[in-house]
Structure 1
Amino acid sequence: MIKCNDVQEQARDLAEPIIARWRDVLACGEFILGDEVSRFEAWFSERCHGAFAVSMNSGTDALLLGLRALGVGPGDEVITCSNTFVATVGVIVAAGARPILADVGDDELVNAGTIAPLLSSRTKAVVPVHLRGRPAGIESIVALCRPCGVAVLEDCAQAIGTTIDGRQVGILGDAAAFSLHPLKTLGGLGDGGVLVTTNPKIAEYAESVRNHGLKSRGESAVFGMNSRLDALQAAALNIKAQYLDQWLDRRKAIAAYYDEALAETATGSDLGGFGQGNSFYHYVVRSADREGLQRYLAMRGIETAIHYPMPIHMQEAWLRSQPRIDLPNTERLAREILTIPCHHHLSDSDVERVVTTIKEFESLGLR
């Protein structure tokens, strides 16, 4: 089976150096925060061109603390998209605010044009998602929001290695949240996340609140939470970080092959196109017979996935508490999208087999 993602093989590849590093952590006894966490945060900061990087125990917490640092709370509205992982909207609700969902373009991304009609006097923040590793038009979104006093929190959960003008996304808004979930291009062996910001006050707030607001072991300056990245996770991530650029280059090479080989097919190439700065966390095609194509690929040993089959505004969690809305482009794309394998464990023959099988499906008139 050609897997759509292969976290097990990556874990096997690096098991020995990671376990060796874990032995060092066990020997020194620094299990909470400590040198491994500081080292990882320094690496992440450098990756983000010197921005502050505050690690946490999940990308969800990074989003939530980002919203709270920006003053989002009850009575506020926060604009984001519906074709994303549920956490993006869930944290807005958790902060006590009302989520307002914008439709997306054919590239599956929100943009200044889809956000602008939704801005109101109650809008406190916008959360654009760099979906699938594609860079959203963050510069135009920031230009739209700043004059209105609206904050921008970039959802970079899928966007490590995604760039705009050669610079890592996450540093143009007021803050950004990254995920270190095992499925991510840079993933731990459990949950983890990072809040990135160029604002020292936001960084100071996040650093305090993630650790119960402690000034010392016995005194808290603010009521916080427990959202510290485990030292063992940081140790594993410090090993993995050494290979990140190599993994990103392989994804881009696979995507370039797909782009050329699928250009003339009905399935077509990635919806984001081979655009500048795309890190290809997902490579997503469209098919009028998405289920038929998925079944055909599966029968021939090729795993695919649908990210995401049901937009959030159509899910039970939304309909229990929010008004029913229509997002025509989001809904249309959700019926057609299919994620095909694109990760560094694929061989050239694997990638060629994916393309050959898609073309075979179309040549048989099954589409």
Structure 2
Amino acid sequence: MLSHIPFSLLELAPMTKGSTVSETLQKTTRYAQKADQLGFNRFWLAEHHNMPGIVCAATSILIGQVAANTTRIRIGSGGVMLPNHSTLVVAEQFGTLESLYPGRIDLGLGRAPGSDQLTSQALNADIQRADNFPSEVSELQQLLGPYNGKRRVRAIPGEDTNVPIWLLGSSLFSAKLAAQKGLPYVFAGHFAPRLLQDALALYRREFKPSNTLAKPYFMLALPVVAADTDEQAQYLSTTSKQRVLSLLRGQPLWLVPPVETMDGLWSEQEKAQVNDFLSLSIVGGPKSIKHKLKTITEQLGVNEFIFTNDLYDSEARHHALEILMDIKN
């Protein structure tokens, strides 16, 4: 069953404390190259701002860097936070990327700012901009589509590149909009699992066929910690647990080494919050990972998985990709 489901990767360019931005981005490029070699379907980069420990702010630039250093895998945004950007600039950037790397670029769009409120205002003074998301998605579709002979403002490059647009979400809003527009939909289960069932049901129930899609296409984002044994995976998973704990506390999001136990590092309330945040996390050795992914596929009818893989050690991170492709094949 898993052999027919594409596996993809979502990347935030995670940074270890003490390393440089340059070193981190080189690691991200090598990670993408490994994914390309192994046969992963997509490699998406997620826009975040003003978050020490995540260096994925200039998303379109990173997409170009990764695309230039890979050969087959699709590269895209997971996503571009549209309220931060002019639709014309986004169309021009992704039209340029598609022209440089034909047939390999995806444009995933999000409605959230990808930052705190103060940073959001620094990016765009209009705090009501997110309300325009539906109309701006339509505008992007027009800018990236064929010229209709009437538009005075045109995306050049961008026009008629028809870069695939995906809608990303963690609530019912984007699920409904994706259904109305007949677009593929990605649910952010890697950080907001609570509304998964409701969002998926809404997307499928209200889906309207379009020139883009004849039927719903659902991709699920999941955190994964894959290792040779269940015990080793549980140990390695403490890196992501510590990171989520830092997020809850408003601290920098450095990747930190795994620990033997989280006892003493968190309160009981924080433990519950972290476990809730990571409740869809897939942790284990090959057999456990395969069983869990099969179960999710049977329950939800997932068309594609996209995984976050936040391990401290680069070798372990690359090995996790090998494990995932082994259980798929």
| Structure-2-length-normalised TM-score | 0.32
Q: Name the larger-Rg structure.
A: 1
Higher relative contact order (CA 8 A, sep 6+): 1
| Structure-1-length-normalised TM-score | 0.30
